[in-house]
Amino acid sequence: MIAIKPAHLLGQEKEVIVKKAAVISSIVVVAVLTALGQKNQRVAADFIAAWNSHDVEKVAPVFTNDVLYEDVTFGAVNHGSAELRKFATSIFQAVPDVKFDLVNSSINGGHGTIEWVFTGTDKGLYKTGKRFSVRGVSVIDLRGDKISRNLDFYDAASIMRQVGLLSSDEKSDRAK
């Protein structure tokens, strides 16, 4: 014999099922967002750690083999791992005590930013032997867990003032 439930009980069961489904989907969304957030934090942390290692062989794996890495401030455009290695070597020689501090990062949908403070002693940028510290940002695109495109922006005039090549009174044409 088939038991038939009253209609009001079927409605209550449906309501319970809908509520359970909503809770489960909320848990899934939180888990996915947490995983993405951890991935995004890892990308920024790996970027900072690689540059702070002073080791070209630790910098290169953070990026894809066909990376486009551009230091917009100095007009240095690097295509691929070999050029990136040369660029990283030049940074480590020009600023042998280079240090990056992570300020903030935001990555969403394979695109984002890594804000940092770049500090070191000028041995090869302007050859002054003086220390400087400048804020900057890397605008990045990701392919998987690696950076495929990186554009660095920072204020060279700020560095020049700190190492004594510009007086602190000098302003850009826009500021006048």
Residue 2 maps to a domain: no
pLDDT reported for residue 23: 62
Residue 101 maps to a domain: yes
pLDDT reported for residue 169: 77
- Are 128 and 94 a contacting pair, CB within 8 Å? no
Q: What are phi and psi of 108, to 5 degrees?
A: -150, 125
pLDDT reported for residue 15: 74
13, HSE (Cβ side, Cα atoms, 13 Å): 6
Residue 74 maps to a domain: yes
Q: What is the pTM of this model?
A: 0.76
User: 176 to each of 160, 169, 171, how far by Cα in Å?
Assistant: 18, 11, 7
Using CA atoms, how far apart are residues 88 and 54, in angstroms rounded to an integer? Answer: 8
Residue 1 maps to a domain: no
Residue 13 maps to a domain: yes
CA dihedral 41, 42, 43, 47 (to 10 degrees): 110
Long-range contacts of 164-170 (CB under 8 A, 24+ apart): 164/128, 164/130, 165/126, 165/128
pLDDT reported for residue 41: 81
Using CA atoms, how far apart are residues 10 and 23, in angstroms rounded to an integer? Answer: 20
Residue 134 maps to a domain: yes
Residue 95 maps to a domain: yes
Q: Is 175 left (phi over 0), alpha (psi -120 to 50) or beta?
A: alpha
pLDDT reported for residue 40: 63
Q: Give me 50's structure tokens.
A: 């690689």
User: 115 to each of 13, 21, 50, 70, how far by Cα in Å?
Assistant: 51, 39, 15, 16
Number of domains forming the structure of the chain: 1
- Are 117 and 54 a contacting pair, CB within 8 Å? no
What is the chain's pLDDT, residue by residue, as a tens digit (176 residues)? 666 656 555 666 767 776 666 666 655 554 444 444 555 689 999 999 999 999 999 999 999 999 999 999 999 999 999 999 999 999 999 999 999 999 999 999 899 999 999 999 999 999 999 999 999 999 999 999 999 999 999 999 999 999 999 998 766 544 54
Residue 92 maps to a domain: yes
CATH of the domain at 73: 3.10.450.50
* Domain extent for 79: 7-175
